[in-house]
Structure 1
C-alpha cells in the first residue's frame, strides 16, 4: 500500500511516494529546480500565485511518476504539508481572487498591533495564545480595508494547503490547527474567536468546514485524477502547516520534544501540554497536529524569516556557479568566528522574535584586505546559528528546555559546518533524520486514513542517522555575545 505526500514550500513543491508497510520512500521529486519567485511590489510585501503552486504540484508529480518504481494505482491516501500563514481567497466558483499574501509579508503588522491593543493584550494572549500580529487574520483585514472590491467577492478563505486540497477534491475544509495558525481560534471557547471576527468585521461564513487534521478532506476528482495519472477517489486524509508537519515527520508529538528546520525560514518547534504564551508574542503557540480538547498538544514556534533565503542570496551574489555543497566546503576554509565578520540574517520581512521589527540583513566588520568568499559563507552560517541561539534563549525563558533537538538532514542541516555551529551555539545536541516534509505528509495521510493505528505506529521504523553533540573545545560564546551586541544596536536604532 502506497501513500503520497505533497509539500507546498516557498521555494518549490516536493512530492514523495512512501511504502506504508516499511515507511520508507520509494521515490520523490520536486519542481522547480531553482527557487520559486516571490513577488514584492512594495518593500516588506511578499506574494505568490496559488495557480503557480498547483502547476508545480502537477509538474513534481509528473517527475515522480517518470522515475517509476511504483504502481500509481496503488496509492491509497494523500497528505499535504504547506507554508504556514498564507492567505488564499476564492469566490463561489472556487476561482482565486488575488495572489496569496504569504507568511513573510509584513504589510499587516500595524493592523495586528492595533487589534492587540483594542481586543486587549491579556485577552489575546490567554485566548489566542498570540498577538494577531502579522498572521492570516490581520492579512485578511488588510484586504478588507484596502481591496474592498476583492473582499466583497470572497466566498471562502484558506491557507495554501487548503487550496491544493480544493484543487484535488473540489472540497474546502480547515482544521483547528489551521485556524490557530491564522490566529482565528479561541483556545478557551474551543471555537472560532468571536473577539477576532467581531473586531475585524469578518463574517463567520467565510471559514470552511472544520475537520480534524487526520481525517477525510475530500476525494480525488475523476478529471483531476486523469490529469495527474492517479485513480479517482483517493482520499486526502491529512493537511498541516509545514512546521507542525516537520515535527510530525520527526515523531515530535509529546510534551518536551523539539524539532528544528532551516529552509527558507529557520524554525525551532517544541511541543507543550500547557496553554502558555510569551508575554511579548516573540514566539508563538498553535494547535499541534495531535491537538484535541481533551488532550492539549500545542506547538511552540520560534521563526527566523531569513535563513535559507539569506544563504541563497549569498550563493547568487558571491558564489555564482557553485553548488550549495561547494559553498559548504568553501565555508570550512575560513576559521571559527570568520575573522571578525558578523552577519545579521534579518532581511526577509518583519521578525516576530524581534517584536515584528524589520531590522534588515547586515554584514559587519568587513575587512577588504582579509575577508574572502569563504569568510562570507561561514559568517552567514554563523550569523544564522546566532539568530537561532537568540530565539532559543527566548524559548528557554518560556520553559522550553530540550535535551536534544531533532532535525531532518536537508537544507542548511545538509551542511556539516552549519549543524556543528548550530549545536555549539545552542549547546543542545541534534539528532538528524532522513525524513522530510513530503514524507511526513505521506505518513500523516496514512494516520488519517486509518492505515496506521496511531502516530507512533507510523514512525515505528524511524531512526536517527546521526547525533551531533556540542564540541567542548569550541568556545562560541564570545562570537555570540559580539553578534548579540550588534543586533541590540540595530534594535535600539529602530526604537
Structure 2
C-alpha cells in the first residue's frame, strides 16, 4: 500500500510517496524549484495566494508521478502538512476571497493584545494556553475590522492545509490541533473557545466541522483524480500544521521528546502531558497530533521567524551567486566568533519570543578592513544558532529540558557548521534523520487510515543517520553572551 504526503510550505510544495510496509520513500518531488515569494503589501504584512498553493501541489504530484518509481493508482491514502497559522477564507462556492494572511504577518498583533486584555491574561493562558497574539483568530478579526465586505462573504475559514484538502475532496474540516494553533480552542473545556468567539463576535458557522487529526477528512473527487492520475475516492486521513507534523515525522510523540527545524523559520517543539503555558506567551502551546481529551499531549513550540530566511537573504543579496554549499565551505574556514562580527537574524516580522517585538535584522561590529563574505556567512549561522539558544532557555524556564533533540537532515541542518554551532550553543546533542515533512504527512496518512495499528508501528524502521554532540561549548559561551547583550540592547531601544 502506498501513501502520499503533501507538505504545503512557505517556500515550496513538497510531496513524497511512501511504501507503508517498508516505510521507504519511493519518490519525492518539490515545486517550484526556486523559493516562492512572500507578498508584502505593507511593512510587516505577509501574504500568499492559496490558489498558487493548489497549482504548485498539482505540479509537485505530477512531478513525483513522472518518476516512474510507483503506480499512482496504488496510492490509498493522503496526508497533508502545512505552514501554520495562515488564514484562508472562502465563500459558499469555495472561491477564495482574498490572499492568505500567513504565519509571519504582523498586522494583527495589537488586535490580539487587546483580546488578551479583554478576555483576561490568566483566563486566556489557562484556557487557550496562549495569548490570542498574532494567530489566526486575530487575523480573522483584522479582516472583519478592515475588510467588512470580504468578511460578510465568508462561508468558512480554514488553515492552508484545510484549503488543499478542500481542493482535493470538496470537504472542509478542521481539528482540535488546527483550532488550537489558531487560538480558537479551549483546553479546559475541550471545545471551541466561547471566549474568543464572543470577544471577536465571530459567527460559529464560519468554523468547519471538527474531526480528529487522524481521521477521514474527505475523499478525492473524480475530476481531481483524473487530473492527477490517482484513484477516485482516496481518503485524506491526516492534516497537521508543519511543526506538529515535523515532530511526528521524527517520532516525537511522547512527553519529554523534542524536535527542531531550521527552514524559513526556526522551531523547537517539545511534547508535554501537562497544559503548560508561558506567562509571557514567548513560546506557545498547541494540541499535538495525538492530543485527546483523555490523554493530553501538548506541543510546546518555540518559533523564530528570522532563521533560514536570513541565510537565504545573504545568499540572494551578498553571496555573488554562490550556492549554499559554497557558502558553508567558506564559512567553515572562519574561526568561532567570526572575528567579532555579530548578526541578529530577526528581520521577518514580529518575534513571539521577543514579546512580539519587530526589531529587524542587525549587523554589529563590521570591520571593513577585516570582515569578508565568509565572515558574514559564519556570523549568520552563529546568530541563528544563538537565537535558538535564547529560545531554548525560555523553554527551559517552562519545564522543557531536552537531553537530545531530533531534527531532519534538511535546510540549515544540511550545513555541518550550523549543526555543530546549534549543538554547541544549546549544549544539547542532535540526532539527524532523513525524514521530512512530506514523509511525515504520508506516515500520518497511514496512521489515520489504520494501515498502522499504532503510531509506533509507523516508525518501526526509524533510525538516525548522524549524531552531533557538543564539542566547542566553552568557546561558544562567551560569544553567545556577547550576542545576547547586543540583543538586549536592541530590545531596550524598542
TM-score, length basis structure 1? 0.99
Query: Are 1:292 and 2:281 counterparts?
Result: no
Which secondary structure state, in structure 1, belongs to the residue aligned with residue 167 of structure 2?
Answer: helix
Hey, what's the Cα distance between the residues in 1 that align with 2:22 and 2:61? 21
What are the ranges of 5 or more consecutive residues in structure 2 without an aligned counterpart? none
The alpha-carbon deviation at position 473 of structure 1 amounts to 6.8
Q: Which residue of 2 aligns with 1:67?
A: 67
Shift in Å, 1:321 = 2.1
CA distance in 2, matches of 1:281, 1:398: 11
Superimposed CA distance per residue, residues 357-410 of structure 1 (whole angstroms, 9 cap, x where no aligned partner): 001000100001100110010000000000000000000011000100000000
Counterpart CA distance in 2 for 1:286 and 1:149 is 31
Hey, what's the Cα distance between the residues in 1 that align with 2:454 and 2:180?
23
- Tell me how far apart the structure 1 counterparts of residues 247 and 327 of structure 2 sit (CA, whole Å): 28
Alignment match, 2:423: 423
Q: Is the 8 A contact 2:334 2:375 kept in 1?
A: yes
Q: What does 1:71-86 correspond to in 2, within 5 Å?
A: 71-86=71-86
Residue 320 of structure 1: CA displacement?
3.1
- Which digits, 9 at most, give the CA deviation of each residue in 1:61-102, with x for residues without a partner? 111111111011100100000000000000000000000000
Q: Which residue of 1 aligns with 2:54?
A: 54
How far residue 472 of structure 1 moved from its aligned partner, in angstroms, is 4.9
- Tell me the equivalent position of 1:162: 162
The separation in 2 between residues aligned to 1:199 and 1:362, in whole angstroms, is 38
The aligned residue for residue 103 of structure 2 is 103
Which residue matches 2:36?
Answer: 36
- The Cα shift of 1:196 comes to 0.3
* Other structure's SS at 1:277 match: coil
Instruction: Give the deviation of 1:318 after TM superposition.
Output: 1.4
Displacement of 1:52 in angstroms is 0.5
Instruction: Show the counterpart of 2:395.
Output: 395
Match of 1:372 in 2: 372
Aligned partner of 1:248 in structure 2 is: 248
Q: Where does residue 133 of structure 2 map in the other structure?
A: 133
Count of aligned residue pairs for this structure pair: 494
Q: What residue in structure 2 maps to residue 218 of structure 1?
A: 218
> SS where residue 66 of structure 2 aligns?
helix
Structure 2 residue aligned with 1:338: 338
Secondary structure of the residue that 2:475 maps to in structure 1? coil
The separation in 1 between residues aligned to 2:175 and 2:320, in whole angstroms, is 43
In structure 2, do the counterparts of structure 1 residues 105 and 310 end up closer, same or farther at CA, with 3 Å as the change threshold? same
SS at match of 1:464: coil
* Contact residue 425 and residue 473 of structure 2 kept, 8 A: no
SS in 2 for 1:476: helix
Secondary structure, counterpart of 1:300 in structure 2:
strand
| Distance in structure 2 (CA, Å) of the matches to 1:335 and 1:22 | 43
Distance across 2 between alignment mates of 1:234 and 1:330 = 48
Cα distance in 1 for partners of 2:83, 2:265 equals 10
Q: What does the per-residue CA deviation read over 1:237-271, in whole Å, with 9 as the maximum and x for residues that have no partner?
A: 00000000000000000000000000000000000
Look up the match of 1:409: 409
Q: 1:140 aligns to what SS in structure 2?
A: helix
- Structure-1 residue corresponding to 2:197: 197
- Across the aligned residues of Structure 1 and Structure 2, the Cα RMSD in angstroms comes to 0.6
Distance apart, 1:220 and its partner CA = 0.3
Contact map agreement 2:427 2:473 (CA 8 A) in 1: no
Counterpart Cα distance in 1 of 2:473 and 2:90: 56
Distance verdict in 2 for CA 1:112–1:69, change over 3 Å? same
- Whole-angstrom CA distance in 1 between matches of 2:14 and 2:330: 28
Runs of 4+ in 1 over 2 A off after TM superposition: none
CA distance in 2, matches of 1:453, 1:328: 42
C-alpha separation in 1, matches of 2:208 and 2:327: 45
- Quote the Cα distance in structure 1 between the aligned partners of 2:39 and 2:483: 31
